Amino acid sequence: MSAKSLTQLASTCGVGNSPFFQKVVEQARVLAKIPRPILIRGERGTGKELLARYIHQQSERAENAYVVVNCAAFQEDLFVAEMFGREKGAYTGALDSKPGKLELADRGTLFLDEIANMNRTVQEKLLRVIEYQTFERLGSNRSIEVDVRIIAATNADLEKMMENSEFLPDLHDRLSFAEITLPPLRKRREDIPALIEYFIRQLHQEIPNLEPKQFTESAISELQAYHWPGNIRQLKNIIERLYISDEDGIIQATELPLEITSVEPLRGNFYEKVMAYEKTLLLTALKDHNGNQRAAAESLGMTYDQFRHFYKKYHLDELLV
């Protein structure tokens, strides 16, 4: 694998030697050479879009276009035109003809992010593109042929959506010729030290004048113990904030954000210390139950309404972002 490829892979999934990570690397390497659709699944922040880009760069289409469409970013009535293009006069405000993302991705790769947000009408049109590689622009009956590889991604439960008739089973079958599931960071905790080093190297490349700093073993242990609901994206943001704001060159466990440690220094008078301890209990319960407020409340012997009172009082939603 070339140096460029290794750099891209590091940006894609992070770095490390965990079994989960190695499985993703091997799957991506093999599937990149097979010109069929791929469905990437995983929680938010695990690097689905970057993995899709890596697959494209490792494929025989690497010299051609890589086009990204966020299926949740467009209003429903504009999405068809965005995806399939339009002819002049196709709708009010269509003053000229415009190619869609499919045409722009011809002979290359089209990445469809958050595909679960695509409505049934577009799902049916996309199914035809995958099967026949043809489509029509909005406002036209002329078929356009393309050669596009489609990579889709989602963090949604597509199986449940199919049961509820919200997602076409045939489209799922076509997209999932191959599936890659990106593991959440909590399942590859052993990779966190390597990820920290990688993000630090990135920072020094972007800001060459930064003074070198290091994380203590206790700080790294706390980071490895955290459940990381935001995955690699969240880890990267926290490492950058800590590294830039640190003043003495040594980043201690006591400097980690409250969302990581769930321990707030008990400073102040009696009432302030009680409030800090209450907040710690609530945050710990939330972490233990993956953010489920009802389960956290039950574990503390509280009603849901009581828990919600403290949740709002301490603005816990801001601490769990």
Can you list the domains of the chain with their CATH numbers? 3-183 (3.40.50.300), 186-261 (1.10.8.60), 270-319 (1.10.10)
pLDDT, mean of residues 1-10: 45
Over the chain, what HEC string results?
Answer: CCHHHHHHHHHHHCCCCCHHHHHHHHHHHHHCCCCCCEEEECCCCCCHHHHHHHHHHHCCCCCCCEEEEECCCCCHHHHHHHHHCECCCCCCCCCCCECCHHHHCCCCEEEEECHHHCCHHHHHHHHHHHHHCEEECECCCCEEECCCEEEEEECCCHHHHHHCCCCCHHHHHHHCCEEEECCCHHHCHHHHHHHHHHHHHHHHHHCCCCCCCEECHHHHHHHHHCCCCCHHHHHHHHHHHHHHHCCCCEECHHHCCHHHHCCCCCCCCHHHHHHHHHHHHHHHHHHHCCCCHHHHHHHCCCCHHHHHHHHHHCCHHHHCC
Q: Could you tell me which of 259, 251, 43 has the C-alpha nearest to residue 153?
A: 43
Between CA 174 and CA 33 the distance in angstroms is 18
> What value does the mean pLDDT take over residues 88-114?
89
Closest C-alpha among 65, 92, 69, 91 to residue 79: 69
Mean pLDDT of 112-124: 92
Apex 157 CA angle, 24 and 16, nearest 5: 20
How confident is the model over 10-19, as a mean pLDDT?
Answer: 58
Amino acid at 99: P
Q: pLDDT per residue over 205-258, tens digit each?
A: 999 888 899 999 888 988 988 888 889 889 999 999 999 988 889 998 888 887
Q: For residue 209, what are the contacts with CB-CB under 8 A and spacing of at least 6?
A: none
Tell whether the model's pLDDT for residue 111 goes beyond 90: yes
pTM: 0.71
Burial of 255 (0-12, 13-18, 19+ CB in 10 A): middle
Find the range with the poorest average confidence among 97-111, 196-210, 245-259, 264-278: 264-278
